[in-house]
Amino acid sequence: MSNIIRTRQRKPEAFSLKYKVPVLLSCLITLILTTAASLAFGSRPLGFHEVLQGLTFENVESYGGTVVQDRIPRTLFSLCCGAALGVAGSLMQAVTRNPLADPSILGVNMGAALFVVSGIAFFQISTANQYIWLALTGALLTSLFVFGIGSMGGGGATPLKLILAGAAISAALSSLVIAIMIPRSYVMDQFRFWQVGSVGKADWGTLQTFLPFLIIGILAASLAAPALNAMALGDELATGLGVRTGTLRLLAAVAAVVLCGAATALAGPIGFIGLLATHVTRLVLGPNLRYVIPGSAFAGAIILTISDICGRILGRPGEIEAGLITAFIGAPILILLAMKTKVRSL
């Protein structure tokens, strides 16, 4: 009898693993195809032979080879930036236990934007390193402020209170950004291209600046994943299992801020990637964060890169920034998720 029970208990786990491995392989194949499409499509589409020439440095001085060489850092940065935002979204949802948590919704992106525009206006910053440290500071302070306001009153930091606090603070910070820019036309010119969110100006230097923050954030997220799974069962039960919930929340929140702050500093406040990537991953792979975190990285990289490709194709001979494409896709999905969450709460 005990053998039968053990066999029945093992079958779902075996089936789950058998199901998830092909899904992850499918994600990898999709990522490779998306990367190839990013190198091939733009204001002028390139053929397979031209892309191959650019990748192998054969006849790199030709038009096709030059275009591919210019698109390589942009594509790699788009993949890394999307992965960072996807993982940041999964961490924020796990820490706040809020299925609608996202850097753009909780005001973190706008906090980073306020510090960046202040640096441009008052300290004449212009380099990627300066952008990153200011954006990280703004993102961290804003996330602490939102969580502090959302924790006031009875019931603690509920999902609804966090969303309301994030929306209110985001609106207030947006007004401050406009107030700083209006009397300073040079700040508005420099800031408006950054504000919509784009990976179009990425180069090898941008990628080199961003990679350390990406590696640190994803490593911290991976280390926190098992404990976050335990915390999803409730703080009391997690504490009984030996999890230090306060330390864990701090580690996961800092990792999320590092990821989304660095991405926002270099690409602008691109919204909805964390929300979309995490929900797609949970729908396919389930709620286990050991799968959700790498899955969100894959999904975020694919979503942002496809958005960048669509912007280049739809905006020919120019381009539409990726931040506008993600907002166009993400806004209706957010409305549907909010309606679904409301129905469940009733």
Residue 46 φ then ψ, to 5°: -110, 150
Distances (CA, A) of 26 to 35, 232, 287: 14, 28, 19
* Residue 131 pLDDT greater than 70, yes or no: yes
* Mean pLDDT of the region 205-211: 90
Top-confidence residue, 162 or 40: 40
Indicate whether 85 belongs to any domain.
yes
Q: 86 pLDDT band (50/70/90 cuts)?
A: very high
The percentage of the chain sitting over the pLDDT mark of 90, rounded to a whole number, equals: 15
Q: Which domain holds residue 172?
A: 77-341
What was the pLDDT predicted at 276? 87
In this structure, of 51-65, 105-119, 136-150, 174-188, the range with the lowest mean pLDDT score is 51-65
First to last CA, the chain: 42
Q: How far apart are CA 303 and CA 287, in angstroms?
A: 20
pLDDT at 171: 87
3-state SS of the chain? CHHHHHHHHHHHHHHHHHHHHHHHHHHHHHHHHHHHHHHHCCCCCCCHHHHHHHHHCCCCCCHHHHHHHHHHHHHHHHHHHHHHHHHHHHHHHHHHCCCCCCCCCCCHHHHHHHHHHHHHHHHCCCCHHHHHHHHHHHHHHHHHHHHHHHCCCCCCCCHHHHHHHHHHHHHHHHHHHHHHHCCCHHHHHHHHHHHCCCCCCCCHHHHHHHHHHHHHHHHHHHHHHHHHHHHCCCHHHHHHCCCCHHHHHHHHHHHHHHHHHHHHHHHCCCCCHHHHHHHHHHHHHCCCHHHHHHHHHHHHHHHHHHHHHHHHHHCCCCCCCHHHHHHHHHHHHHHHHHHHHHHHHC
Indicate whether 238 belongs to any domain: yes
The mean pLDDT value for 218-237 works out to: 83
Q: What average pLDDT score do residues 64-75 get? A: 84
* pLDDT at 4 (0 to 100): 37
- CATH code where residue 253 lies: 1.10.3470.10
- Closest by alpha carbon to 143, among 221, 219, 247, 249? 249
Domain tally, the chain: 1
* Rg of the chain in Å (alpha carbons): 21
- pLDDT at position 2 is 40
Give the pLDDT score at 232.
76
Q: What pLDDT is recorded for position 297?
A: 93
Q: Is 16 domain-assigned? A: no
Better-predicted residue by pLDDT, 240 or 33: 33
10 Å Cβ neighbour count for 318? 10
Residue 41 counted as domain residue: no
Could you tell me if residue 69 is inside a domain? no
User: 328-340: per-residue pLDDT in tens?
Assistant: 877 777 677 666 6
Amino acid, single-letter form, for residue 134: L
Q: The whole model's pTM is what?
A: 0.82
Does any domain span residue 119? yes
How high does pLDDT run on average in the chain? 80
pLDDT of the residue at 344: 42
Whether the CB-CB separation of 110 and 177 falls below 8 Å is answered with yes
